[in-house]
């Protein structure tokens, strides 16, 4: 168990910098999820914590010890890989025991620790099997068991659920969370799946293009996205973003049309982005409606109905919008939907920097 | 696969049987010859069924032979073939390991240098190699027979190709588990390479066993002769009429070790193929 402190860490391959200075403090026992699109540097960051990639600049501390130049084995970490990386010629038991064997533990202690981890992960019947005789979910458990028996300071997960089918992924997600809770070990978890990110994390790190755009609790990231990128990345369907500027207490859309704002921003006239999540739009009566949606397509998901359309009055310029309505809503393409925005559920971003206003 | 019926099946089997007969008949004839007397062989027609002199001929071949006892030559060949096969595998697996997993200066140069040696088989470099071996006083020794032949670009390449298919995550998992380079090699890479080693061993053992020119050059004492060059010497030349039954017995004996290696290693090879999964 340990804290992790990452201070302005950078990574360059030759002259190309891929991580542009990330800082992060992880408390003891915390579960941190690093999420972002492919190529954003999230895996590289994790591998730098593991010691599999060298750190170009900045400092990395695990448990108060600077580990910049330490080999992975000296860092007291355990890692779970996306493709499990089990040793194919070793039995499940040997796979889990390998690290302990190298660490020079006694046979009795190895046996006891492996048995304990196997019991926790329900792997007892499979200890003598080779990895190829296991299903994907079982292999994933062995990979977790291998991390667990080491009793490390930090768990590192590199997209561990990507190779599993959807149902198993949901189940393993819960198991990982429970396992981490019960042993109380600090964990860093990399994923591109925002559902995994939201459900697992104590705190989220949303990364984009080598920068940590926002580090906060999942709900805070959802409710108050720090940048336009975070707003678009977290939440499904993505947040509606409309171009325009503030005039008085209204937001004037680029193509015409007005939206009332809850709070009046200090400055007016500057180009801004107006964001509202599809689930924060409600059907209203024609009188109350603050915006009217000309529906162009409808997706019925059962519990919800998604209405795609353009804002009438926006003259079709950048006024595309999605509204998430209750499953019972009767909507058809061609309809005009009167909508209101839920109170305090609007976001404004700077059009140039993407920062929250 | 296309399922043939009736005439097709008969034709296929006929072709296969003829093929096998063409390959096997000379070997059978050699065996028959090794059980007859010299005069039975040279007087046409030569009998096609084994005669009663099996034990006489084979014991003469093994203990006395013509130039040197065949037993001794078989041992020499066996030592040389084993030495070459094991030496080649040991050296090439280590050099492939270095080339694939380590970043060091002149890595690519080393790689290309090994690659270039493919163009230099024994026959091309035989004079300078002889000079070196002779200066080192290794003529008529096992070291002299084995050492110059154990560098192998082909085996290095095979291992390199195989190592490149081993997932990087496996290397990383081992690093995180605390395995150093030697430990990783011993615990992970070597067990995974067993199939490749078995396959290479078969090929290299036969390569070593069949060496003719090199042993012919550097062994001058009959007791250091290998079986392949020994056989050549047992063949009657010019006005000598030779001893055909003993020569045939020696030829039969010379075939057995490579056959044994193929049969024994093939099992391991197939087993490895079925079991290994990456």
User: Which tens digit of pLDDT belongs to each residue from A209-230?
Assistant: 888 999 999 999 998 899 989 9
Is the model's pLDDT at B193 over the cut of 60?
Answer: yes
Compute the distance between CA of residue B131 and CA of residue B137 in angstroms, rounded to an integer: 10
CATH number at residue B72: 1.10.3720.10
- DSSP 8-state symbol, A5: E
Residue A207 three-state SS: strand
What Rg value do the Cα atoms of chain B yield, rounded? 24
User: Do A248 and A163 share a structural domain?
Assistant: no
What tens digit of pLDDT does each residue of B60-85 get?
A: 888 876 677 888 888 999 999 999 99
* B155 close to B95: Cβ distance less than 8 angstroms: no
Q: Which chain B residues are within 8 Å of A153, Cβ to Cβ?
A: none
Alpha helices in chain A (DSSP H): 42-50, 92-102, 107-120, 136-149, 166-183, 194-200, 218-223, 228-233
User: Do A69 and A200 share a structural domain?
Assistant: yes
* Order of all β-strands in the sheet with A250-253: A258-260, A250-253, A240-247, A271-276, A346-350
A200–chain B nearest CA distance, Å: 24
Q: Which chain B residues are within 8 Å of A85, Cβ to Cβ?
A: 167, 169-170, 172-173
What tens digit of pLDDT does each residue of A312-348 get?
A: 665 545 677 888 988 888 888 888 888 888 878 888 8
Last residue of a domain, one of A226, A246, A274: A226
Instruction: Identify the closest residue of chain B to A81 by CA–CA distance.
Output: B169
User: Do A241 and A221 share a structural domain?
Assistant: no
Between the alpha carbon of residue B264 and those of residues B79, B261, B270, the distances in Å are: 18, 5, 11
The pLDDT of residue B110 = 87
Between the alpha carbon of residue B207 and those of residues A59, B184, B201, the distances in Å are: 56, 30, 10
For residue A314, tell me if it sits in a domain. yes
* Domain membership of residue A342 as a residue range: 237-350
User: Do A152 and A288 share a structural domain?
Assistant: no
Percent of chain B with pLDDT over 70: 93
Q: Quote the Cα angle for B94-B95-B98, to 5°.
A: 90
Alpha helices in B117-193 (DSSP H): 126-135, 142-146, 153-165, 168-177, 181-184, 190-192
φ, ψ for residue A197 (rounded to 5)?
-60, -50
Supply A83's token pair: 């493709």
The partner residue sitting opposite A79, judged by closest CB among B167, B176, B277, is B176
For residue B192, tell me if it sits in a domain. yes
* A7 close to A59: Cβ distance less than 8 angstroms: yes
Helix axes B107-116, B153-165, angle to 10 degrees: 130
The partner residue sitting opposite A99, judged by closest CB among B169, B170, B178, is B178
For residue B176, tell me if it sits in a domain. yes
* A235 close to A191: Cβ distance less than 8 angstroms: no
For residue A338, tell me if it sits in a domain. yes
User: Do A259 and A115 share a structural domain?
Assistant: no
Q: What is the dihedral of CA A39, A42, A46, A52, to 10 degrees?
A: 20
* Banded model confidence at residue B103, pLDDT cuts 50, 70, 90: confident
Q: Provide the CB-side half-sphere exposure for A324 (13 A, CA).
A: 16
For residue A357, tell me if it sits in a domain. no
A146–chain B nearest CA distance, Å: 9
Chain A interface includes B175 (CB < 8 A): yes
Is the model's pLDDT at B240 over the cut of 80?
Answer: no
Q: Hey, are the CB atoms on A99 and B187 less than 8 Å from each other?
A: no
Q: Which chain B residues are within 8 Å of A51, Cβ to Cβ?
A: 175
The pLDDT of residue B41 = 78
Residue B194 three-state SS: helix
User: Do A273 and A135 share a structural domain?
Assistant: no
- B120 pairs with which residues across the strands? none
CA nearest neighbour of B208 among B67, B87, B69, B70: B87
Q: Residues with Cβ < 8 Å from A256, sequence gap 6 or more?
A: A313, A314, A315
DSSP per position, B27-38: HHHHHHHTTS-H
Last residue of a domain, one of A201, A226, A251: A226
User: Do A261 and A206 share a structural domain?
Assistant: no
Compute the distance between CA of residue B24 and CA of residue B19 in angstroms, rounded to an integer: 9
φ, ψ for residue B86 (rounded to 5)?
-70, -40
* A312 close to A302: Cβ distance less than 8 angstroms: no
Chain A interface includes B26 (CB < 8 A): no
Supply A278's token pair: 């599809």
Compute the distance between CA of residue B71 and CA of residue B76 in angstroms, rounded to an integer: 9
* Banded model confidence at residue B87, pLDDT cuts 50, 70, 90: very high
User: Do A133 and A20 share a structural domain?
Assistant: yes
Q: Residues with Cβ < 8 Å from B42, sequence gap 6 or more?
A: B241, B244
Last residue of a domain, one of A173, A197, A226: A226
Compute the distance between CA of residue A283 and CA of residue A305 in angstroms, rounded to an integer: 12
CA nearest neighbour of A180 among A207, A163, A156, A204: A156
Supply B157's token pair: 């390449």
For residue A355, tell me if it sits in a domain. no
Instruction: Identify the closest residue of chain A to B180 by CA–CA distance.
Output: A73
Residue bearing tokens 């006239």: A269
Q: Hey, are the CB atoms on A88 and B276 less than 8 Å from each other?
A: yes
* B243 close to B38: Cβ distance less than 8 angstroms: yes
Between the alpha carbon of residue A121 and those of residues A23, A144, A185, B77, the distances in Å are: 34, 8, 16, 56
* A55 close to A22: Cβ distance less than 8 angstroms: no
Considering only the C-alpha atoms of chain A, give the largest distance between any 2 of them, rounded to a whole number of Å: 77
The pLDDT of residue B25 = 92
- A61 pairs with which residues across the strands? A5, A66
The pLDDT of residue A316 = 47
* Domain membership of residue B117 as a residue range: 66-275
What Rg value do the Cα atoms of chain A yield, rounded? 24
Supply A302's token pair: 């059962």
Q: Which chain A residues are within 8 Å of B179, Cβ to Cβ?
A: 73, 98, 102
Residue bearing tokens 């198991």: A175
Report the sign of the C-alpha dihedral through residues A40, A45, A50, A53, in that order. Answer: positive
User: Do A253 and A218 share a structural domain?
Assistant: no
Q: Which chain B residues are within 8 Å of A139, Cβ to Cβ?
A: none
Residue bearing tokens 């999540």: A277
More confident residue, B68 or B238: B68
For residue B24, tell me if it sits in a domain. no
- A356 pairs with which residues across the strands? A349
Q: Which residues of A touch chain B, with CB atoms under 8 Å apart?
A: 50-52, 71-73, 77-79, 81-89, 98-99, 102-103, 132, 146, 150
Residues of chain A with pLDDT under 70: 1, 255-257, 262-267, 312-318
Compute the distance between CA of residue A284 and CA of residue B2 in angstroms, rounded to an integer: 70
User: Do A186 and A118 share a structural domain?
Assistant: yes
Residue bearing tokens 């036969």: B206
Instruction: Identify the closest residue of chain A to B178 by CA–CA distance.
Output: A73
Compute the distance between CA of residue A77 and CA of residue B176 in angstroms, rounded to an integer: 7
For residue A212, tell me if it sits in a domain. yes
φ, ψ for residue A207 (rounded to 5)?
-110, 145
Q: Hey, are the CB atoms on A102 and B278 less than 8 Å from each other?
A: no
CATH number at residue A253: 2.40.50.140
Q: Which chain B residues are within 8 Å of A99, Cβ to Cβ?
A: 176-178
For residue A138, tell me if it sits in a domain. yes
User: Do A290 and A195 share a structural domain?
Assistant: no
User: Do A144 and A282 share a structural domain?
Assistant: no
The partner residue sitting opposite B169, judged by closest CB among A83, A99, A146, is A83
The partner residue sitting opposite A89, judged by closest CB among B174, B179, B191, is B191
The partner residue sitting opposite B175, judged by closest CB among A52, A86, A146, is A52
Chain A interface includes B183 (CB < 8 A): yes
- DSSP 8-state symbol, A356: B
What tens digit of pLDDT does each residue of B152-187 get?
A: 888 898 899 899 988 888 999 999 888 888 999 999
* Number of domains comprising chain A: 2
* Number of domains comprising chain B: 1
CATH number at residue A171: 3.40.50.300
Compute the distance between CA of residue B89 and CA of residue B84 in angstroms, rounded to an integer: 8
């Amino acid at each position: 168990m340990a804290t992790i402190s990452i201070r302005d860490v950078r990574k360059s391959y030759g002259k190309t910098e891929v991580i542009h200075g990330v800082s992060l403090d992880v408390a003891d026992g915390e579960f941190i999820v690093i999420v972002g699109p492919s190529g954003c540097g999230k895996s590289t960051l994790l591998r730098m914590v593991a010691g599999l990639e060298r750190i170009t600049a900045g400092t990395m501390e695990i448990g108060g010890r600077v580990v910049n130049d330490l080999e992975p084995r000296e860092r007291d970490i355990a890692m779970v890989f996306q493709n499990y990386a089990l040793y194919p010629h070793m039995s499940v038991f040997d796979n889990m025991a390998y690290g302990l064997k190298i660490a020079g533990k006694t046979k009795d202690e190895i046996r006891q620790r492996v048995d304990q981890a196997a019991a926790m992960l329900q792997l007892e019947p499979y200890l003598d099997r080779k990895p190829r005789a296991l299903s994907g979910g079982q292999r994933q458990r062995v990979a977790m068991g291998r991390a667990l028996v080491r009793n490390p300071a930090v768990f590192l997960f590199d997209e561990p659920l990507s190779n599993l089918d959807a149902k198993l992924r949901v189940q393993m997600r819960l198991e990982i969370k429970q396992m981490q809770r019960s042993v109380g070990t600090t964990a860093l978890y990399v994923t591109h799946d925002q559902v995994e990110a939201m459900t697992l994390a104590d705190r989220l790190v949303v990364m984009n293009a080598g920068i940590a755009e926002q580090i906060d609790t999942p709900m805070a990231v959802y409710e108050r996205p720090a940048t336009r990128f975070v707003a678009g990345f977290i939440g499904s369907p993505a947040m509606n973003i409309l171009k325009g500027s503030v005039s008085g207490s209204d937001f004037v859309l680029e193509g015409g049309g007005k939206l009332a704002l809850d709070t009046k921003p200090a400055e007016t006239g500057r180009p801004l982005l107006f964001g509202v999540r599809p689930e924060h739009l409600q059907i209203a009566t024609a009188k109350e409606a603050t915006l009217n949606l000309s529906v162009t397509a409808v997706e019925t998901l059962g519990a919800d109905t998604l209405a795609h359309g353009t804002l009438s009055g926006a003259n079709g310029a950048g006024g595309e919008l999605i509204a998430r309505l209750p499953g019972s809503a009767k909507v058809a393409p061609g309809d005009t939907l009167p909508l209101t925005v839920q109170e305090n559920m609007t976001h404004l971003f700077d059009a140039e920097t993407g920062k929250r206003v | 696969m296309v399922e043939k019926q009736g005439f097709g099946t008969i034709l296929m089997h006929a072709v296969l049987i003829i093929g096998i007969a063409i390959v096997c008949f000379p070997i059978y004839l050699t065996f028959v010859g090794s059980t007859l007397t010299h005069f039975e062989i040279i007087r046409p027609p030569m009998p096609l069924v084994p005669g009663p002199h099996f034990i006489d001929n084979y014991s003469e071949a093994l203990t006395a032979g013509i130039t040197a006892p065949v037993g001794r030559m078989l041992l020499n060949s066996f030592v040389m073939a084993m030495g070459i096969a094991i030496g080649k595998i040991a050296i090439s697996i280590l050099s492939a390991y270095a080339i694939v997993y380590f970043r060091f200066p002149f890595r690519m140069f080393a790689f290309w240098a090994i690659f270039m040696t493919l163009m230099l088989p024994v026959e091309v470099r035989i004079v300078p190699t002889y000079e070196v071996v002779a200066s080192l006083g290794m003529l008529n020794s096992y070291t002299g027979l084995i050492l110059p032949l154990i560098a192998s670009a082909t085996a290095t390449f095979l291992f390199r190709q195989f190592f490149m298919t081993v997932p990087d995550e496996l290397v990383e998992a081992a690093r995180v588990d605390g395995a150093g380079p030697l430990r990783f090699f011993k615990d992970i890479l070597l067990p995974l390479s067993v199939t490749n080693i078995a396959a290479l061993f078969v090929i290299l053992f036969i390569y070593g066993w069949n060496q003719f020119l090199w042993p012919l050059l550097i062994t001058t004492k009959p007791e250091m002769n290998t079986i392949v060059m020994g056989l050549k010497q047992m063949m009657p030349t010019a006005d000598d009429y030779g001893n055909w039954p003993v020569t045939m017995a020696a030829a039969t004996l010379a075939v057995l070790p490579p056959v044994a290696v193929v049969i024994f290693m093939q099992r391991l090879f197939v087993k490895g193929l079925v079991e290994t999964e990456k």
